[in-house]
Amino acid sequence: MKPLRFRQVHLDFHTSGAIPGIGASFDKLRFQEALKRGRVNSITLFSKCHHGYSYHPTRVGARHPHLQTDLLARQIEACREIDVRCPIYLSAGLDEYAAHQHPEWIVKRRDGTTAVPFKSSWRMLRFNSPYLDYLCAQIEEVVQRWPDNDGIFLDIISAQLDYSDDALEEMRAAGLNSEDEADARQYAESVLYRYFERTTAAAKSVRADTPVLHNSGDVSLGNHRAQDFNTHFELESLPTGGWGYDHFPLLARHVITRPKDFLGMTGKFHNTWGEFGGFKRANALRYECAAMLAYGAKCSIGDQLHPSGEMNPDTYALIGEAYAEVEAKEPWCGAVRPVAKIAIVSSRQNQARWSADHTSGLAADEGAGRMLLELHQPFVVLDEHASWDGYEVVVLPEGFVMSAAKREQAQAFLARGGRILAAGSALLNEARDAFALPPVAGVSLRGRSPYDPDYLLATALTPRVPVKSPIVIHGGAYEVELGEQASAPAAGAVSAVAILAARRVPYFNRTWERFCSHQHTPDAPAQAAQPLSPAAVASEQIAYFAHDLFTAYRRQGQPLYRDFFEAALRHLFGGTLPVETAALPTSGRVNVLEQAAERRYVAHLLYAPTNVRGTFNGKPIEIIEDLVPLRGVELTLRLPRLPKTVRLVPSRTSLEFAAQAAKTPAAGNSGRAGGGEAGTGDGAGGECTVRFTVPEFTAHQMVELAY
């Protein structure tokens, strides 16, 4: 497969059959002019929309009743004349025309209904019905007409619980209990793979190397079987449409570990898809595209074509502002791999809920990711199948299941010198009644605390936590006891084990029978002779929080929780983090990528303040309007190789820097990019630290460190 292009548009065209004049205003030259104005070099065009209508002559499907031209063919011709790629879109999970013609093809809910009466909503179609034959025939028709197509995009793909008569009979024949949701879900998964196999075969029926993308709005972490039906990934993540600005960075940090090209997908809308007349600020789109580059992705911007077929000039002027910057940065953004010493390992429990819904199963992973983003640390997100080799610290959020196989993997990782930072149940056995991997010698588990919330106390080993009083934390904790080998004195620190946080309980839990004030009960003072109960303990290689720290951070957003996390992370790294910054706010972001073929690292700095302005579907709309320049941002990076030069790109402005080999500090010396040498001077291997200052940047700055 050819590398994806950097500047793409996803051109939605879901158009009601009640609207006349479809494509009547399409003009090839104006269409091309819009693409040129937007600096677009790939655009996804529609064969069939959610309404079930085709936008070209069809022997299989239903041409839009008010389409009088071969719109898709004319669009493709216009694109090819100006070297713009044009993958072809077909709606798979939704087809209102087919649903109307064949109501027996609609997914049936457990209560026997297929739709909510009088509600304007889509109806999901069953892939375990003749609809799948109909869909595959549509795909084959498209690839036969355009055998040299640039790819097939299939949309709205998921495992749907279906209680139709056919589904019930198939479950019975397979020995599944349709009344058991787990069995019904197992059946739904089997239907989904039936869909994957048949539609992928249809898309590749003319040309085996046809790119294929099955879009479900996200990527199922750990499900390599499902991922392998995609030739690449498109990460749908519209920050203003409910995903928020921290969804894409976490998903991208997983996908970059997989051996496939990928792009990020935002939208030009103020909120989300289908917003005719909706526009976001150019500054927001500039930042969103810069973030895609910073996390190793190509760019795609969602738009919706007017039913007339006329491209909106304001939209493509807006897109052009962002894509002009992307075009200038492309040489430093292709064929990249992450440079990260930290990995979050997501559990199967959390992977099953990795979506834009921000459900509870995701909270732990998102909380850990947000802490690392705000601490400016490059990291990746691994699924349960991934190796931990090459990382120094592995973060195990609560919900991670320490199976026998995972325990063996963790022990091997520790034996190689790796370090683990875990929270909640992550170090417990599968029964969650004892430690599978004790964080320190002599520690034992007494069980789950009956108190929620309770309180954290900083110790002498957490001086960066500015509050020394009890700090409330919600979600509950495990009660940890230190034996004679690792007792916990009231002072808060011992020689054998580091006590990073102590725990204090309230007088009682809040109930209807007894409560105090507006929220929760205050902490009960400990007896003078009573040792502190540990809330966070650490050995040289393992740090453990007894609370569900990451979930608490995702839900409450209390910066003090991040302070405790930072203390534990610094403990494991020996005091100095892989990236140290000055003058970069917590809402700033840092990532480091490597272009091995070009023999250089590229450090990305991002910063844009976000604001909540209104709501959409009950969720706050988080927007970017103003971009504020930052000045004098100092960075110290730990890198695998000593750089010879450091410069801002794409401006190619040289920076003064100091580089020092980690194992031979005396070898380090200051240098100016473009002249002189740093460290050993040959860019040879060996850990090093590099320090430099970015004089000023707005929204996004790349720093090239060539070795």
Q: What does the block give as tokens for 373? A: 């983003």
Class of domain 7-334: alpha beta
CA distances from 498 to 470, 493, 562 (A): 19, 6, 18
H helices of 358-494, in order, are: 360-374, 404-415
Omega of the bond leading into 531 within 30 degrees of 0 (cis): no
* Buried/exposed 354-381: b ≥16 CB within 10 Å, e otherwise: bbbebeebbbbbbbbbbbbbbbbbbbbb
What is the structure's pLDDT at 120?
Answer: 86
CB atoms within 10 A of CB 228: 12
Omega of the bond leading into 453 within 30 degrees of 0 (cis): yes
What is the structure's pLDDT at 671?
Answer: 32
Q: Taking residues 663-678, report their average pLDDT.
A: 32
Q: What does the block give as tokens for 375? A: 């601490």
Q: Per-residue pLDDT for 470 more than 50?
A: yes
What is the structure's pLDDT at 623?
Answer: 96
Phi, psi for residue 475 in degrees, rounded to 5: 110, -10
Q: Which residue has the tokens 């990076």?
A: 637
Reported confidence tier of residue 314, pLDDT bands at 50, 70, 90: very high
C-alpha closest to that of 643 among 704, 697, 564: 704
What percentage of residues in the chain have a pLDDT greater than 70? Answer: 92
Q: Taking residues 302-330, report their average pLDDT.
A: 99
Under a CB-based contact definition with an 8 Å cutoff, are residues 86 and 75 in contact?
Answer: yes
Burial class (CB in 10 A: 0-12, 13-18, 19+), 488: buried
Under a CB-based contact definition with an 8 Å cutoff, are residues 583 and 516 in contact?
Answer: no
Reported confidence tier of residue 619, pLDDT bands at 50, 70, 90: confident
Q: What tens digit of pLDDT does each residue of 14-39 get?
A: 999 999 999 999 999 999 999 999 99
Q: Taking residues 406-417, report their average pLDDT.
A: 98
- Could you tell me which residues come within 8 angstroms of residue 675 by beta carbon, excluding any fewer than 6 positions away? none
Q: Which three-class secondary structure state does DSSP give residue 401?
A: coil
Q: Taking residues 286-306, report their average pLDDT.
A: 99
CA distances from 535 to 308, 370, 407, 506, 605 (A): 63, 21, 22, 14, 34
Class of domain 342-576: alpha beta
Q: Which three-class secondary structure state does DSSP give residue 350?
A: helix
Question: H-helix or E-strand containing 80?
Answer: helix 71-81
As a whole number of Å, the end-to-end CA separation of the chain is 30
Q: Per-residue pLDDT for 529 more than 70?
A: no
Phi, psi for residue 507 in degrees, rounded to 5: -60, -40
C-alpha closest to that of 498 among 550, 421, 424: 421
What is the structure's pLDDT at 683?
Answer: 53
Under a CB-based contact definition with an 8 Å cutoff, are residues 105 and 98 in contact?
Answer: yes
CA distances from 680 to 263, 637, 646, 670, 685 (A): 37, 17, 15, 11, 10
Q: What does the block give as tokens for 160? A: 């749907």
Q: What tens digit of pLDDT does each residue of 82-98 get?
A: 999 999 999 999 999 99
Q: Per-residue pLDDT for 361 more than 60?
A: no
Question: H-helix or E-strand containing 196?
Answer: helix 181-203
What is the structure's pLDDT at 359?
Answer: 41
User: Which has the minimum average pLDDT: 79-93, 141-155, 493-507?
Assistant: 493-507
What is the structure's pLDDT at 442?
Answer: 86
Model pTM greater than 0.85? Answer: yes
518 residue type, one letter:
H
Cα 382 vs. chain centroid, distance in angstroms?
11
Q: Apex CA 211: angle with CA 205 and CA 216, to 5°? A: 105
Q: Which residue has the tokens 């690839």?
A: 143
Domain ranges in the chain are 7-334, 342-576, 580-706
Under a CB-based contact definition with an 8 Å cutoff, are residues 261 and 1 in contact?
Answer: yes
Q: What does the block give as tokens for 233? A: 């990934």
Under a CB-based contact definition with an 8 Å cutoff, are residues 497 and 440 in contact?
Answer: yes
- Cα maximum dimension of the chain: 87
What is the structure's pLDDT at 156?
Answer: 97
Q: Taking residues 647-667, report their average pLDDT.
A: 81
Q: Per-residue pLDDT for 662 more than 90?
A: no
Mean pLDDT of the chain: 92
Round to whole Å and give the CA distance between 90 and 80. Answer: 20
Q: Taking residues 689-700, report their average pLDDT.
A: 99
Reported confidence tier of residue 681, pLDDT bands at 50, 70, 90: very low
Round to whole Å and give the CA distance between 632 and 636. Answer: 13
Cα 314 vs. chain centroid, distance in angstroms?
30
Q: Per-residue pLDDT for 349 more than 70?
A: no
Q: Per-residue pLDDT for 701 more than 60?
A: yes
What is the structure's pLDDT at 497?
Answer: 86
Ordered DSSP codes for 464-509? T----S-EEE-S-BEEEEE-GGG---TTS--SSSEEEEEEE-BSS-
C-alpha closest to that of 605 among 485, 469, 700, 698: 700
Q: What tens digit of pLDDT does each residue of 238-262 get?
A: 999 989 999 999 999 999 999 999 9
Q: Per-residue pLDDT for 117 more than 90?
A: no
β 542-545/419-423 pair status = parallel
Radius of gyration of the chain (CA): 27
Under a CB-based contact definition with an 8 Å cutoff, are residues 505 and 455 in contact?
Answer: yes
Q: What does the block give as tokens for 309? A: 């077929």
Q: What tens digit of pLDDT does each residue of 196-241 get?
A: 999 999 999 999 999 999 998 778 788 899 999 999 999 999 999 9
β 342-345/379-382 pair status = parallel
User: Which has the minimum average pLDDT: 93-107, 347-361, 450-464, 492-506?
Assistant: 347-361
